[in-house]
């Protein structure tokens, strides 16, 4: 046995070397041909690709990551998976990145900047190809980790004009304003805002609600019901009951999320409170089931799949080393006026 034989650890895998040998070129040329680098003669590219196909060659991501100092992983950090909103975003991201050879990793932050910082620390050690983050609410340490890493990053859901920050979303404030305005236009005067979780985007919707009502001289702080508890249908029902008890004069409710609003609607049904005659109800996000409620739920349709896809596209551009046409991409929103208002 030769010494070189003695230490073999070959996995039986088809390697770039095998492809190169079959195509009768050097491994570097094979590597370049397969990655689509332009500086390779068309004929050689052809030969290499044919050989790779015939051998069933699949590049080793670990070797590639080690040599290039960059993996094909793209962590997506979202607050929760229990909100269908983020699942939709995640799905769209995943579907967009996969055909380009990138893996989507899940990161769940539970709306905790400290948790996000931890996750970021560990994901950055994996040399991710790119990063998708929800919103702008993070620790200073996280911000520095990001900046220092040089990893391309796109922010989801919210917008900013801050220089060097890439983002895809819509104006939460305007959306909150728009649906409140709708209730005002319907003749409502005692419009409550009912919210849970109280994350930054929820509070932006609250801001839109306030601005709208102040413009109409209708703002009343006592009609805001803010609960830090996690959002759920059940909580929506409970909050509506609270509200009707403590503020019986209320004639409309804007729930910050559709799960709360759906719960509110079902609660009204149970209590035989007529919607929208006695009280109008509006939600936010147009989640699954909102169009099936009795009455159907007025809400704001948010472009979450489009956000997932567009942010992934923007990231793809950045990972390619190019500059996207715009830093901030506003995908808008659409009020869905239905039976509950």
Mask: binding to a copy of itself, 227-246, rule CB under 8 A, as x and -? -----xxx--x---------
Report the nearest approach of a copy of itself to the CB of residue 233 (Å): 5
Helix 42-55 to helix 27-34 angle (10° resolution) is 90
Q: Could you say which DSSP state residue 39 is in?
A: S
- Residues making contact with DNA (CB under 7 A): 3-4, 6-11, 13, 15-17, 25-29, 31-32, 34-35, 38-41, 44, 57, 59-60, 63-64, 66-69
Residue whose tokens read 């996280």: 142
Separate counts of helices (H) and strands (E) for the chain:
13, 12
- In the complex with DNA, the residue whose CB is nearer, 15 or 103, is 15
- Residue 232 contact among DNA, a copy of itself, none, beta carbon within 5 to 8 Å by kind: a copy of itself
Cβ contacts of 53-57, under 8 Å, gap ≥ 24:
54/22, 55/14, 55/18, 55/19, 55/22, 56/14, 57/14, 57/15, 57/16, 57/18, 57/19
Q: Which two tokens stand for residue 305?
A: 């799949």
The correct pick among 29, 31, 71, 197 for binding a copy of itself (CB under 8 A) is 71
Q: Which two tokens stand for residue 135?
A: 């919103």
- Residue 291 contact among DNA, a copy of itself, none, beta carbon within 5 to 8 Å by kind: a copy of itself
Residue whose tokens read 């050689």: 44
Q: What CA–CA distance (Å, rounded) separates 218 from 212?
A: 8
Binding region for a copy of itself (CB under 8 A) out of 31-39, 78-86, 158-166, 189-197: 78-86
- Residue 125 contacts a copy of itself per CB under 8 A: yes
Which positions touch a copy of itself (CB under 8 A)?
9, 11, 58-63, 65-66, 69, 71, 73, 81-82, 84, 87, 90-91, 94-95, 103-106, 108, 121-122, 125-127, 232-234, 237, 259, 262-263, 266, 269-270, 288-289, 291-294
């Amino acid at each position: 046995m030769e010494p070189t034989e003695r230490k073999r650890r070959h996995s039986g895998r088809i390697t770039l070397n095998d492809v190169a040998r079959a195509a009768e070129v050097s491994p570097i040329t094979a590597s370049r041909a397969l990655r689509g680098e332009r500086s390779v003669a068309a004929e050689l590219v052809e030969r290499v690709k044919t050989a790779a196909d015939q051998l069933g060659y699949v590049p080793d991501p670990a070797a590639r990551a080690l040599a290039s100092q960059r993996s094909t992983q793209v962590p997506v950090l979202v607050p929760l998976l229990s909100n269908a909103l983020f699942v939709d975003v995640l799905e769209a991201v995943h579907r967009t990145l996969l055909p380009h050879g990138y893996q989507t990793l899940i990161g769940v932050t539970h709306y905790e900047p400290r948790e996000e910082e931890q996750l970021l620390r560990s994901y950055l050690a994996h040399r991710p190809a790119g990063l998708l983050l929800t919103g702008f609410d993070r620790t200073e340490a996280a911000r520095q980790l990001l900046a220092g890493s040089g990893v391309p990053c796109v922010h989801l859901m919210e917008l900013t004009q801050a220089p060097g920050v890439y983002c895809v979303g819509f104006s939460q404030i305007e959306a909150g304003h728009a649906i409140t305005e709708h209730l005002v236009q319907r003749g409502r005067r005692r419009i409550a805002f009912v919210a849970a979780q109280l994350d930054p985007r929820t509070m932006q919707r609250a801001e839109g609600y306030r601005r709208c009502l102040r413009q109409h001289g209708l703002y009343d702080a006592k009609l805001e019901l803010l609960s830090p508890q996690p959002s759920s249908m059940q909580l929506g029902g409970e909050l509506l009951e609270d509200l009707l008890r403590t503020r019986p004069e209320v004639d409309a409710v804007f729930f910050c999320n559709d799960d709360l609003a759906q719960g509110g609607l079902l609660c009204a049904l149970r209590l035989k409170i007529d919607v929208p005659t006695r009280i109008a109800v509006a939600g936010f996000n147009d989640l699954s089931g909102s169009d099936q409620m009795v009455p159907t739920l007025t809400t704001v349709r948010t472009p979450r799949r489009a956000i997932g896809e567009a942010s992934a596209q923007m990231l793809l551009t950045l990972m390619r080393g190019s500059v996207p046409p715009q830093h901030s991409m506003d995908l808008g929103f659409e009020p869905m006026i239905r039976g509950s208002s």
